[in-house]
């Protein structure tokens, strides 16, 4: 190997960076330093990465590092004159034209390398597809066919390559593209010398506004027919999924939304956070309005499933004959009226969380099927013998006493023990009185923001809130405060304004007159406690109260239940 040529660069710009990169690949060139003249960060960063010397003193650089060649890319006559004065007698200074020639040669070489790499990648893509591909030039000569085309047709590549498309496929899409220079879609034709019939799409290749050839993508018609059948079958599933996605329960609550400072409530929050870190089943118990769904959403959003679905289903709101199909789905034709396939809530919740609210109101027959899902981790749609594996975190909730239901033979003990792995018993508001002020203030602030108001409690009103039993718990408080803020003419919510909205117990307010709406609500709750909070119980309660089922639901809705 001969003596290395020592090179100094003066100036940092894209030209010098291009030349430096090229010179580094040559073994007989040694770059001894660079005088930047300006901050061209990409060049300086590259030199620093390759441990090349950067000097801010041109005099020292040239005198202390004898070079064979100095490449000046600055086009600055003052710098050029300094170089000529400082350089050794045998050192050559590259002229601007020489530098530009080198730059263009290197760029062209790089462009050719890129083109070669793209061709290799394109070839790999064409050969990876299952569809046949043919390319012709502007004269109609076949210049490329991929492996899939020879596999589909059974022809050898020699029977097409180099032949004119007018001879080998006169009725194909490429002939029409060549004639019109326009795309041709869904052209059905047979491949000559074979019994293969296919569907092809052809597209012109236009470069700088000039027609250069065409490309056609060919698929065997039998494959198209099979695909059409699959699409037709899956279209119903897709339509259903599209509808279900619209109705998916959105999760907006996190642990920051769980307001309270009492030890009993904070213990519930701590248990919920631990539950979020595992895939174990969670059972949330508590009266209506205590925030069971808020806890369920907070657990989901805190878990590693937070980016996937959170599916909620109210087991008490749906009749038994419909609840099974909602949970597990069904195949088309599974029963009268099943005119399309439906995916159940468990499958929709795959990789996410399913929240089974009011689990205590589920029928015994459905409890048995739910138990199987928990044990086998798979579901079977109605009308199907195929099972679908699921990965779902289950959170169940109820406001009923499950142990009493087990005693009354209305709830399966084996299902209870499957659900009761992690239990969260949310205390009612009346048993955590210390939480009432902070909770009321937080709710009031949120409602003020929504209604663009600035209401505050008087001291008497704040004390009155703590004397109320809150049978509807947090939900009742929120609904009551929304009405109060809406009706309030003044910024202060007084005890006089508050009293008519509270169903105060006789011991607290002996002379209090109960509003009719609250009286109706208490009657409905009493009937539901007797006949059950499930659908059948609500129906029977409405019959005993001699009101319609819709009226019963309206009374509950007005009370926030």
* CATH number of the domain residue 81 falls in: 3.40.50.720
CATH number at residue 434: 1.10.8.60
The CATH number linked to 274 is: 3.40.50.300
pLDDT at 67: 86
Q: Which residues contact 42 (CB under 8 A, 6 or more apart)?
A: 14, 17
CA distances from 504 to 437, 464, 501, 556 (A): 17, 9, 9, 19
In whole angstroms, how far apart are CA 11 and each of 8, 16, 47, 510?
A: 10, 7, 13, 94
End-to-end CA distance of the chain: 90
Q: Are residues 311 and 346 in the same domain?
A: yes
Residue 538 sits in a domain of what CATH number?
Answer: 1.10.10
Q: DSSP state, 285? A: E
Backbone φ and ψ of 342, nearest 5°: -130, 135
- How many folded domains does the chain comprise? 5
Report yes or no on 239 lying in a domain.
no
Do 329 and 379 touch, CB atoms closer than 8 A?
A: yes
Q: Helix 516-531 to helix 535-545 angle, to the nearest 10 degrees?
A: 130
The strand pairing partners of 70, in sequence order, are 8, 93
The answer to whether 145 and 152 are in contact (CB under 8 A) is no
Beta strands (DSSP E) in 11-76 are 29-35, 69-72
Q: Are residues 261 and 330 in the same domain?
A: yes
Residues 6+ apart with CB under 8 A from 551: 542
Closest by Cα among 46, 45, 41, 58 to 20: 46
| Domain assignment present for 176 | yes
- In eight-state DSSP terms, residue 103 is H
Q: What are phi and psi of 164, to 5 degrees?
A: -80, 140
Looking at the fold, whether 155 and 215 belong to one and the same domain comes out as yes
Q: For residue 423, what are the CA distances in angstroms to 66, 286, 396, 533? A: 81, 11, 10, 21
Residue 479 tokens, joined = 């609904």
Tell me what pLDDT residue 232 has: 58
Q: Are residues 274 and 207 in the same domain?
A: no
**H/E segment holding residue 538:** helix 535-545
Burial of 409 (0-12, 13-18, 19+ CB in 10 A): exposed
Nearest to 6 by CA among 75, 62, 80: 62
DSSP H helical ranges for 93-172: 96-128, 147-153, 165-168
Count other Cβ atoms within 10 Å, centred on residue 196.
Answer: 18
Per the structure, the complete domain to which residue 439 belongs is given by 430-509
8 Å CB contact between 439 and 468: no
Last residue of a domain, one of 425, 456, 474: 425
Q: Is residue 118 part of a domain?
A: no
The DSSP code sequence of 423-435 is EEEPPPGGG-GGG
206 and 135 housed in the same domain: yes
Question: Pick from 313, 251, 244: which is nearest to 276 by CA?
Answer: 251
Verify that 469 and 561 share a domain, yes or no. Answer: no
CA-based R_g, the chain, Å: 39
| Full DSSP string of 430-490 | GG-GGGHHHHHHHHHHHHHHHHT---EE-HHHHHHHHHS--TTHHHHHHHHHHHHHHH-SS
Q: Which residues contact 387 (CB under 8 A, 6 or more apart)?
A: 376, 378, 379, 380
Give the length of the chain. 561
pLDDT digits (tens, 9 = 90+) for 120-155: 555 655 665 677 888 888 888 988 888 888 887 778
- According to DSSP H, which parts of 286-360 are helical? 292-302, 320-328, 345-348
Structure tokens given for 376: 């086998």
Cα–Cα distance measured from residue 57 to residue 82, given in angstroms and rounded to the nearest whole number: 12
Helix (H, G, I), strand (E, B) or coil at 259: coil
Q: Which pair of structure tokens corresponds to residue 25?
A: 């690949």
**Is residue 281 within 8 Å of residue 374, measured between CB atoms?**
yes
The answer to whether residue 32 is domain-embedded is yes
Listed residues 384, 409, 425: the one ending a domain? 425
> Alpha carbon of 526 to those of 72, 468, 472: distances in Å?
95, 19, 13
Same domain, 561 and 495: no
521 and 490 in a common domain:
no
Residues 154, 289, single domain; the answer is: no
d(CA 12, CA 94) in angstroms, rounded, equals 16
Considering the domain architecture, whether residues 42 and 80 belong to the same structural domain is answered as yes
Residue 228 placed within a domain: no
Mind listing the pLDDT tens digit of every residue in the chain (561 residues)? Answer: 457 888 888 888 777 787 888 888 777 788 888 888 765 566 777 777 777 888 888 888 888 888 888 888 888 888 888 888 888 887 888 766 667 767 776 666 555 454 455 555 556 556 656 778 888 888 889 888 888 888 877 788 888 888 898 888 888 888 888 889 988 887 877 776 676 777 788 888 887 778 888 888 887 765 544 555 555 555 555 555 555 554 555 678 899 899 988 899 999 999 999 999 999 999 999 999 999 999 999 999 999 998 888 999 998 888 877 888 888 888 877 777 777 778 888 888 888 999 999 999 998 989 999 999 999 899 888 887 788 889 999 999 999 999 999 999 999 999 999 999 999 999 999 889 889 999 999 999 999 999 888 999 988 888 888 888 888 899 999 998 998 888 888 888 888 888 887 754 444 444 455 566 777 787 888 888 778 877 788 888 888 887 888 888 888 887 766
CATH number, domain of 205, equals: 3.30.450.20
Are 262 and 410 part of one and the same domain? yes
Let me know if residue 249 belongs to a domain. Answer: no
Sequence-ordered strand ranges (E) for 369-421: 378-380, 387-389, 393-398
114 in any annotated domain: no
| pLDDT the model gives residue 428 | 92
Alpha carbons within 13 A on the beta-carbon side of 356: 25
- Reduced to 3 states (helix: H, G, I; strand: E, B; else coil), residue 155 is coil
Phi, psi (5° rounding) for residue 560? 80, 30
Residues 6+ apart with CB under 8 A from 320: 363, 365, 366, 535
Cβ burial of 464 (10 Å; 0-12, 13-18, 19+) is buried
d(Cα 54, Cα 9) in Å, to the nearest integer? 10
The candidate with the shortest Cα–Cα distance to 310, out of 256, 351, 269, 364, is 351
Whether 448 and 483 map to the same domain: the answer is yes
Q: List CB contacts of 344: < 8 A, sequence separation 6 or more.
A: 325, 326, 327, 328, 329, 330, 379, 381
Judge contact between 309 and 352, C-beta under 8 A: yes
Nearest to 506 by CA among 550, 469, 533: 469
């Amino acid at each position: 190997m001969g003596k290395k040529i020592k090179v100094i660069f003066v100036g940092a710009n894209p030209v010098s960076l291009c030349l430096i990169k090229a010179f580094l690949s040559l073994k007989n060139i040694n770059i001894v330093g660079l005088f930047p003249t300006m901050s061209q960060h990409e060049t300086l960063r590259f030199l620093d990465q390759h441990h090349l010397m950067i000097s801010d003193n041109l005099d020292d650089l040239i005198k202390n590092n004898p070079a064979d060649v100095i490449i000046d890319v600055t086009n600055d006559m003052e710098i050029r004159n300094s170089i000529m004065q400082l350089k050794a007698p045998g050192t050559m200074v590259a002229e601007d034209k020489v530098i530009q020639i080198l730059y263009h040669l290197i760029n062209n070489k790089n462009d050719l390398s890129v083109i070669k790499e793209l061709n290799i990648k394109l070839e790999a893509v064409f050969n990876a597809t299952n569809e046949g591909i043919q390319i012709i030039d502007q004269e109609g000569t076949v210049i490329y066919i991929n492996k899939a085309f020879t596999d589909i047709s059974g022809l050898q590549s020699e029977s097409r390559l180099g032949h004119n498309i007018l001879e080998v496929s006169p009725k194909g899409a490429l002939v029409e593209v060549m004639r019109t220079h326009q795309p041709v879609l869904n052209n059905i034709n047979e491949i000559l010398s074979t019994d293969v019939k296919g569907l092809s799409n052809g597209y012109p290749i236009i470069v700088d506004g000039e027609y250069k050839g065409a490309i056609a993508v060919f698929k065997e018609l039998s494959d198209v027919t099979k695909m059409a059948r699959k699409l037709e079958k899956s279209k119903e599933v897709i339509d259903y999924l599209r509808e279900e996605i619209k109705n998916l329960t959105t999760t907006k609550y996190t642990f920051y939304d769980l307001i309270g400072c009492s030890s009993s409530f904070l213990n519930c929050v701590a248990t919920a956070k631990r539950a979020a870190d595992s895939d174990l089943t969670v059972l949330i118990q508590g009266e209506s309005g205590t925030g069971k769904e808020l806890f369920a959403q907070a657990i989901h959003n805190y878990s590693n499933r937070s980016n996937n679905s959170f599916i909620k289903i109210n087991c008490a709101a749906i009749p038994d004959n419909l609840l099974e199909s909602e949970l597990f789905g069904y195949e088309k034709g599974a029963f009268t009226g099943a005119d399309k396939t439906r995916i159940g809530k468990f499958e929709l919740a795959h990789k996410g969380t399913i929240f089974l609210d009011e689990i205590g109101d589920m029928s015994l027959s459905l409890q048995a099927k739910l138990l199987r899902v928990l044990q086998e981790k798979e579901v079977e749609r109605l009308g199907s013998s195929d099972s679908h594996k699921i990965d779902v975190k289950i959170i169940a909730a109820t406001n009923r006493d499950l142990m009493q239901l087990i005693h009354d033979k209305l709830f399966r003990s084996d299902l209870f023990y499957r659900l009761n792995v992690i239990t969260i018993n949310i205390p009612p508001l009346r048993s955590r009185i210390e939480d009432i002020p902070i909770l009321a203030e937080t709710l009031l602030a949120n409602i003020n923001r929504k209604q663009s108001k600035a209401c505050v409690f008087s001291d008497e009103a704040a004390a009155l809130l703590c004397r109320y039993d809150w049978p509807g718990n947090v939900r009742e408080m929120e609904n009551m405060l929304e009405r109060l803020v809406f009706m309030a003419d003044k910024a202060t919510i007084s005890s006089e304004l508050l009293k008519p909205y509270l169903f105060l117990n006789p011991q607290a307010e002996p002379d209090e007159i109960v509003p009719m709406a609250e009286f109706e609500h208490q009657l409905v709750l009493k009937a539901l406690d007797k006949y059950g909070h499930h659908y059948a119980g609500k129906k029977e309660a409405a019959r005993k109260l001699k009101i319609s089922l819709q009226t019963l639901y309206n009374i509950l809705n007005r009370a926030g239940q």
